[in-house]
A and B are shown apart, each in its own frame.
Chain A
């Protein structure tokens, strides 16, 4: 099993009124479309609560994808609002393996998300060690 440390981010703790770190499960990925590849590594959240992979539209444009030609879907979060995304087949290089999958690209998406269908399902298991702040990937 390959273990990856959670990444720290600044967080202002409302209870203590002090700055501290919050640790989140991120991976650094590159997207590949034919011969075009992301110029820099994209910090993407590994999110077991997300049905699919959802990324900002700008990452599609960077690899030459006309993303609106993809399959149109609606995506929703925990509130009442939904937004439109378009599913496109791309390769994800996550540093552990290359995954030929579908990413749903949309406008105003801020945090790239790797979800269960399209990412988790390409591994035998994905586990979260919250106390140890690590994600485990079994190929």
Chain B
């Protein structure tokens, strides 16, 4: 699977995307604002995800 390079502009942001990561539908640093925009535009069943820092790894 190839991720659209547009995702590189959204490090540390919340994005709404399709299942194939081929486009960023919406992006915002604030998840609440992203949700409001998605509701206003009636976007359903897309993927909402946080883009973690590109140069870091995740620990729990």
Contacts and interface: CB of A to CB of B under 8 A. Distances in A.
A12 B1 contact: no
Contacts, number: 67
Given A62-B35, A77-B60, A41 B47 contact: yes
Nearest to B8: A10
Interface residues of chain B: helix, strand, loop or mixed (majority): loop
Given A39-B38, A58-B31, A78 B47 contact: no
Contact of A40 (B3, B47, B50): B47
Contacts of B27: none
Interface string B1-30: 101000110000000100101000000000
Interface residues of B, number: 28
A43 B60 contact: no
Interface string B45-60: 1111111101101111
Contacts of B57: 22
A61 interface: yes
16 contacts: A10-B3, A10-B51, A11-B55, A12-B54, A24-B58, A28-B47, A39-B44, A40-B48, A42-B49, A43-B48, A45-B58, A56-B31, A58-B35, A59-B31, A110-B52, A111-B50
Interface of B: 1, 3, 7-8, 16, 19, 21, 31-32, 35, 38-39, 43-52, 54-55, 57-60
